[in-house]
Amino acid sequence: MPELTYVNASCHCALNTFRVGFLISSLPISTDLCHCSTCRHTSGQLAVEQVSIHGAPLARAVGGSRQHSGNRSRSRSPAPGARSTGNTNLNTKRHSALLAPPTIPIIVVEPDIPLDLTDLTAYKTSPDVTRYFCNSCSSHLFFVVHTKSTDPITGEEEKTDKWAVAVGALDKTEGIVRLGYHIWVGDTLDGGIANHLRRIEGVGVLPRYSEGVGSPLVPIGLNAIQPPPIANGSANPNSPPSSDLLKAFCHCGALHFALTRPTPESSLPTSVYPDLICPYDVSHLSKIHNPSDEKWWLAPRHSMGPKTKYLAGHCMCTFCRLTSGFEVQSWAFVPLVNVLVPASASGENGGGQDGEEWVPLCLEEDEHRPKALKQYISSPGRYREFCGTCGATAFWWQLAVPDLLEVSVGLLDERIDGARAESWLEWCTDRVSYEDKALSPEVAKALAEGLKESAKKAES
């Protein structure tokens, strides 16, 4: 029997909690960060990291504890908030505490019961690949490759499933996985997040393969973008010229939307600073509250000239990690007024093709919400919107500031401006949001250093 170690994992809503096994002899496993268009548009992330597991995912082991004592009887502890029984004999309590036998934690390991997939949505990105995401919180958890072979003796066809788990869903990565290289960077047309995540301590510079491992390497300065020609006119006056729209879509095609350039109405929202600008663990509340009402989401931030872009950045908080399944969530901060959807998607007449009508996105009224969107309420007044078919993360917003959205950058049409969309987005290079909450400190450190390095090269 191979020696295995098991790691617990889950999605954010905990509807899916499980454990996965790894061969001890293979640890740590070198993983890739995949930048292919399929992964980006099925997840909403700029890149995804998954690691192969031994066998299939299993039901979570049950934890417990017992007292090291021959006395098997136990009294039930009072419920939180329950009133005292009236026993005020402090000496009795003190002696009971001193004489109580030590509590020894134990783990009651269940048999290898396969995980029940009932609470997962299956989405096939090809005939041989199925991805699974949580029905409730949208966390992408599994990537399964289906293979077929013929038994040499019986001649019967055998089917085998090779499972991989999303690294961000794991309870720990230290000693288990280590990021080793980038693949399918060519699909980004501009290098994507590989330009920001360049080297890992102990690994060195991460190879940037244009396709799979062994394909030609991609340089840091990749620019294969071929902007579409500027439209001279439009059949529909309500449809802006293509040069004024940055389109976005999920993999299954059920969700389409587009961003417009900043307008005077883009300055109407009022919001506190995000952790991306003011680290919440060290900043004073008076500063976080943005007393000068800076419109920090409009860029260039430190220029007195016209605002033509939106602020974007990378987040490694626990919420983003567990609702996506991946360690790094890349967001762009865009006012609601600057997000359009095809009229047909919101129940109106029209569509989303060139020459057809686009209308403002509505998220609060059920009858006008895009039909493809499914909503996850992570806490009162905080919402994550995702495609109910392929699971792609689209937006995050809160009721306190309903007119300012966080848009998932991985859905932007890379053919227009590359995966990073730098003619539309100004990337925050000062820090990584919630770097202190990262599952893998070495990845967070590498990303922060890579952002600063890219900023220096841009200035030179």
**Predicted confidence (pLDDT) per residue in 170-223, tens digit:** 999 999 999 999 999 999 999 999 999 999 998 999 999 999 999 999 998 899
Are residue 347 and residue 440 in the same domain, yes or no?
Answer: yes
Q: Is residue 251 domain-resident? A: yes
Our count of domains for the chain comes to 2
**Confidence tier at 380 by pLDDT (50, 70, 90):** very high
Are residue 282 and residue 390 in the same domain, yes or no?
Answer: yes
> Whole-model pTM?
0.85
Q: Is the pLDDT of residue 9 over 70?
A: yes
- DSSP-derived 3-state class of residue 27: coil
Q: Which tokens go with 374?
A: 């499914």
Q: Is the pLDDT of residue 237 over 60?
A: no
Q: Where does 12-89 have alpha helices with state H?
A: 37-43
Q: What's the rounded Cα separation, in Å, for the pair 43 and 320? A: 12
Q: Is the pLDDT of residue 235 over 50?
A: no
Q: Is residue 106 domain-resident? A: no
Q: What is the mean pLDDT of residues 340-358?
A: 66
Strand order in the sheet with 339-342: 245-249, 256-260, 339-342, 358-360
Does residue 300 have a cis bond before it (omega within 30 degrees)?
yes
Q: Is residue 441 domain-resident? A: yes
Closest CA to 256 of 344, 190, 320, 368: 344
- The more confident residue out of 406 and 349 is 406
Q: What is the mean pLDDT of residues 113-123?
A: 96
Handedness of CA 316, 321, 324, 325 (dihedral sign): positive
Provide the 8-state DSSP code for 287: H
Q: Is residue 71 domain-resident? A: no
Q: Point out which residues pair with 256 in neighbouring strands.
A: 249
Q: Is the pLDDT of residue 72 over 60?
A: no
CATH number, domain containing residue 413: 2.170.150.70
Q: Is residue 220 domain-resident? A: no
Are residue 197 and residue 48 in the same domain, yes or no?
Answer: yes
Q: Is the pLDDT of residue 104 over 60?
A: no
Q: Which residue has the tokens 């792609």?
A: 392
Q: What's the rounded Cα separation, in Å, for the pair 407 and 289? A: 22
Q: What's the rounded Cα separation, in Å, for the pair 12 and 324? A: 9
Are residue 251 and residue 399 in the same domain, yes or no?
Answer: yes
Residues 6+ away with beta carbon under 8 Å from 198? 205, 206, 220, 446, 449, 450, 453
Are residue 190 and residue 269 in the same domain, yes or no?
Answer: no
Q: What's the rounded Cα separation, in Å, for the pair 116 and 15? A: 11
Looking at residue 460, its pLDDT comes to: 63
Q: Is residue 95 domain-resident? A: no
Closest CA to 196 of 458, 447, 455: 447
Q: Is residue 210 domain-resident? A: no
CB 43 within 8 A of CB 412: no
Domain boundary (205, 220, 253) is at 205
Are residue 261 and residue 353 in the same domain, yes or no?
Answer: yes
Looking at residue 114, its pLDDT comes to: 94
Are residue 249 and residue 181 in the same domain, yes or no?
Answer: no
Q: Is the pLDDT of residue 78 over 50?
A: no
Q: What is the mean pLDDT of residues 69-86?
A: 35
Q: Is the pLDDT of residue 167 over 90?
A: yes
Q: What is the mean pLDDT of residues 159-169?
A: 96
Closest CA to 168 of 193, 139, 199, 194: 139
Are residue 341 and residue 430 in the same domain, yes or no?
Answer: yes
pLDDT-above-90 percentage for the chain: 74
26's torsion region: left (phi>0), alpha (psi -120 to 50) or beta?
alpha
Are residue 264 and residue 175 in the same domain, yes or no?
Answer: no
**Confidence tier at 353 by pLDDT (50, 70, 90):** low
Are residue 152 and residue 272 in the same domain, yes or no?
Answer: no
For residue 395, the enclosing domain spans: 242-459
Q: What's the rounded Cα separation, in Å, for the pair 221 and 444? A: 23
Are residue 39 and residue 154 in the same domain, yes or no?
Answer: yes
Closest CA to 386 of 255, 257, 246, 252: 255
Domain boundary (157, 180, 205) is at 205
CB 187 within 8 A of CB 34: no
Q: Is the pLDDT of residue 348 over 50?
A: no
Looking at residue 85, its pLDDT comes to: 35
Q: State the average pLDDT for the chain.
A: 87
Q: What's the rounded Cα separation, in Å, for the pair 415 and 227? A: 7
Q: Is the pLDDT of residue 335 over 90?
A: yes
Q: Is residue 410 domain-resident? A: yes
Domain boundary (159, 179, 205) is at 205
- The more confident residue out of 99 and 341 is 341
**Confidence tier at 76 by pLDDT (50, 70, 90):** very low
Q: What's the rounded Cα separation, in Å, for the pair 287 and 277? A: 10
Are residue 197 and residue 297 in the same domain, yes or no?
Answer: no
Looking at residue 279, its pLDDT comes to: 96
